[in-house]
């Protein structure tokens, strides 16, 4: 396509589409020789019965998946003790987040997120032409309820709160979240992607408060990040609006089958979750002994402030030279941090060994 024709096509797009730059081509995914600790995946194989459900689903690959995910929604409703009209299923919670923005925001509206938080929300707000407000947590990661109700966020159409939080791993007591939901007349979106590693959850609150929407994903705690299974729970009116704009046949047959199997066999992950909690504590102590300042975490990762004299990007590059991937962030206050996913014992041994070597040679 000629440059002139391309410019004509681009100029005809909406303002939001024009502001959205084309994604650059990125480098290919690392091969199995790398230790991948940058995206909070759960690296363990699926339990046998769940793997069998995935393989069996391949035999139905010629069929469209079930419309509106009725069986999967019903299974989630039974597993979590809610009604089917309180449940929406999707390709991970990221798809459901996108639906929330489309359903409840118009150009010029405001949305507020507790910060630091999941950066994908900034992109979703931009695509809707919405103003994106980032509200900092209080001391000791406390929830600034009055600021959310009366401060700059008072006109936000909805408030986003991840608990446990990403990228810090910090946890807000559910009683504090309930106080915010009870006092607010706006939608509160509670992202519980990591809640299976935390001491409590807020799902039971949806029956008390119609302005609460809880999001869950199976990517972190149930090791199906590549299959994409997530749920939203809330008042039937809220859920119905989201389902109404959801893509037809939005989940594939494998995701549908695996989601139902995970719901039926959640107890099979008990050892997995115990392992992650144990490794999380072991790595936190080891990093502390190496001069890192590590936040207490209730997720499957740790946020660690690097020793004085380097920044997070320096450590990310140093570890990458040893084929170990960790995450860094440009957010204010996080420049000197790395986030490390908790994987297998062997992966964490490799990470700690590399970290010790780097630290010894600085």
Q: Is 281 exposed, middle or buried (0-12, 13-18, 19+ CB in 10 A)?
A: middle
Report the top-level CATH class of 48-264. Answer: alpha beta
* 48-264 matches 24-45+269-360 in CATH topology: no
**Coil, helix or strand for 270?**
helix
Please report the pLDDT score of residue 29 as a whole number. Answer: 64
Contact residues for 71 (Cβ-Cβ < 8 A; gap 6+): 256, 260
At residue 14 the predicted structure's pLDDT band, cuts being 50, 70 and 90, is: low
- pLDDT, tens only, 279-328: 999 999 999 999 999 999 999 999 999 998 889 999 999 999 999 999 99
Please report the pLDDT score of residue 262 as a whole number. Answer: 98
At residue 28 the predicted structure's pLDDT band, cuts being 50, 70 and 90, is: low
- pLDDT, tens only, 218-248: 999 999 999 999 999 999 999 999 999 999 9
Q: Where are the domains of the chain?
A: 24-45+269-360, 48-264
> What CATH number labels 24-45+269-360?
3.90.1150.10
At residue 333 the predicted structure's pLDDT band, cuts being 50, 70 and 90, is: confident
- Average confidence score pLDDT of the chain: 93
Rounded distance, CA 104 to CA 86, Å? 18
- pLDDT, tens only, 116-174: 989 899 999 999 999 999 999 988 889 999 999 998 899 999 999 999 999 999 999 99
Indicate if the pLDDT at residue 65 is higher than 70.
Answer: yes
Integer-rounded Cα Rg, in Å, for the chain is 21
Question: Other C-beta atoms within 10 Å of 24: how many?
Answer: 5
């Amino acid at each position: 396509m000629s440059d002139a024709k391309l410019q004509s096509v681009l100029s005809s797009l909406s303002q939001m589409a024009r502001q959205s730059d084309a994604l650059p081509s990125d480098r290919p995914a690392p091969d199995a020789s790398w230790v991948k600790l940058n995206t909070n995946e759960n690296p363990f194989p699926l339990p046998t019965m769940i793997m069998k459900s995935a393989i069996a689903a391949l035999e139905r690959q010629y069929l469209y998946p079930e419309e509106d995910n009725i069986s999967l929604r019903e299974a989630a409703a039974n597993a979590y003790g809610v009604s089917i009209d309180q449940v929406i299923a999707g390709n991970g919670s990221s798809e459901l987040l996108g639906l929330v923005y489309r359903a409840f925001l118009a150009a010029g509206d405001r949305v507020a997120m507790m910060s630091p938080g999941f950066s994908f929300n900034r992109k979703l707000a931009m695509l809707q032409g919405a103003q994106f407000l980032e509200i900092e947590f209080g001391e000791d990661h406390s929830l600034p309820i009055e600021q959310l109700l009366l401060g700059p966020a008072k006109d936000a159409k909805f408030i986003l709160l991840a608990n446990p939080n990403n990228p810090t791993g910090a946890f807000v007591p559910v009683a504090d979240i309930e106080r915010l939901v009870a006092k607010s007349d706006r939608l509160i979106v509670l992202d519980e992607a990591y809640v299976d590693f935390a001491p409590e959850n807020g799902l039971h609150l949806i029956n008390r408060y119609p302005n609460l929407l809880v999001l869950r994903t199976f990517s972190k705690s149930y090791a199906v990040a590549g299959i994409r299974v997530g749920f939203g729970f809330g008042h039937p009116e809220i859920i119905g609006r989201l389902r109404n704009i959801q893509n037809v046949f939005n989940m594939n047959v494998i995701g549908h089958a695996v989601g139902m199997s995970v719901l039926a066999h959640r107890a099979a992950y008990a050892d997995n979750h115990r392992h992650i909690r144990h490794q999380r504590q072991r790595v936190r102590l080891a990093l502390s002994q190496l001069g890192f300042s590590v936040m207490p975490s209730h997720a499957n990762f740790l946020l660690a402030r690097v020793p004085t004299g380097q920044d997070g990007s320096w450590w990310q590059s140093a570890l990458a030279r040893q084929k170990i991937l960790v995450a860094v962030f440009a957010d204010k206050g996080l420049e000197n941090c790395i986030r490390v996913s908790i994987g297998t014992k062997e992966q964490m041994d490799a990470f700690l060994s590399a970290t010790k070597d780097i630290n010894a040679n600085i």
